[in-house]
Chains A and B, each alone.
Chain A
Amino acid sequence: QQPVQSPQAVILREGEDAVINCSSSKALYSVHWYRQKHGEAPVFLMILLKGGEQKGHDKISASFNEKKQQSSLYLTASQLSYSGTYFCGTRSNDYKLSFGAGTTVTVRA
């Protein structure tokens, strides 16, 4: 089942912060975050495994609350290069990765 992402879109000025949420109705083994720029392929950002860990990639970090089956992606001090569509992918105890509908982030100067 497809995870639910929110918000659908967010517009930021350079230097501002944003949070993207991803939730699932199924028990999760892992949450994966990807970013896709217009006309390009999705690019892997990070994986979070169950255990409530938090990870970071430059000034982009994420958390995973396995009890709530939720993950959040934090964009801190956003840069123009952060613009794109962010997808969360969730995996339960099978090998399938189900992606959310995506959150479009636009960072303006």
Chain B
Amino acid sequence: DSGVTQTPKHLITATGQRVTLRCSPRSGDLSVYWYQQSLDQGLQFLIQYYNGEERAKGNILERFSAQQFPDLHSELNLSSLELGDSALYFCASSPDNRAEEQYFGPGTRLTVT
């Protein structure tokens, strides 16, 4: 158990819908990272927040957005969902903003039908 929690574990929704994935980092960690893992794409970095502010952006679509709240939990919002958005979404956390040792949560499996 890494100490990072993610909810929900599974999510099944239809195309065009909007969903919110939630992540709570390990106690004391200030950075949260979001990754998308699909069969043909591997682990793709989406975005990083550090202490409430966006720190780095990866291959995140405009339909996706994220934020980190004052209590350091983070949410990833996915809208206008497409079949290709079906994937495992991981959240990871680390103590600082240098993308060093990251602890991954169990992931949220999103299925878009």
Contacts and interface: CB of A to CB of B under 8 A. Distances in A.
Contacts of A91: 99
Given A94-B56, A99-B42, A42 B98 contact: no
Contacts of B105: 41
Given A42-B43, A87-B43, A95 B98 contact: yes
Contacts of B25: none
Contacts, number: 54
What range describes how many residues of A lie at the interface?
Answer: 20 to 34
A97 B45 contact: yes
Contacts of A34: 104
Interface string A76-105: 000000000001010100111111111000
B102 A44 contact: yes
A41 B97 contact: no
B110 to A, nearest CB: 15
A44 B43 contact: no
A91 B98 CA distance: 10
A99 B99 contact: no
Interface in A14-56: 30, 32, 34, 40-44, 47
A43 B101 CA distance: 10
Contacts of B56: 94-96
A65 to B, nearest CB: 20
A70 to B, nearest CB: 19
B74 interface: no
18 contacts: A32-B101, A40-B106, A41-B2, A41-B106, A41-B107, A43-B104, A44-B103, A47-B101, A87-B43, A89-B43, A95-B48, A95-B56, A95-B97, A95-B99, A96-B45, A96-B56, A99-B43, A101-B42
